[in-house]
Amino acid sequence: MSMKRHLHGRSVHGQALVEFALTFPIILMVLLFVVGFALVFYSYVTLQMAVREGTNSIVHNPRQTTAAVETTVRGYVVTLDQSQLTVLVEPASPSSWGPGAQVSVSGLYNVVLPVSALGTFQLRAVSVMTIE
């Protein structure tokens, strides 16, 4: 006797294949959504940490240049695509970075998702600190 199961005289081997064919696209979409969300979340956390460190570097060394601050920020986002990053320092003039001044470092980053149908996301992170 054959080990195949029969339902009303028909083989049920094809049923598993049909169920897989119907559920696979849904599972794939969920998986791509999770990967996309993880990429956006990782990029945001990394960008937030980098601008915080840039602002912190101004507070601890107000005599540096805006280029040095940008280099600091870019040094903390080495795992992200540097061409998609824009760093803004305000006030832009280091002569304004005196005691009591508020300084702000902003980062704009375009996250390009692996699936082009999901598009791109623009992330913005801002850190503001007061020089003491």
Comparison of pLDDT for 12 and 120, the residue scoring more: 120
The pLDDT, as a whole number, for residue 7 is: 60
Strands 10-11 and 102-112: unpaired
Residue 73 or 15, more confident: 73
Measured CA to CA, the distance from residue 119 to residue 111 in angstroms comes to 9
Indicate whether 58 pLDDT > 70.
yes
pLDDT: is 1 or 104 the higher one? 104
pLDDT tens digits for range 22-52: 999 999 989 988 888 899 999 999 999 999 9
pLDDT in tens, 75-128: 999 999 999 999 999 999 999 999 999 999 999 999 988 776 667 889 999 999
Q: What pLDDT was estimated at residue 8? A: 64
pLDDT of residue 32: 86
Please give the pLDDT value at position 3.
54
In this prediction the pTM is 0.81
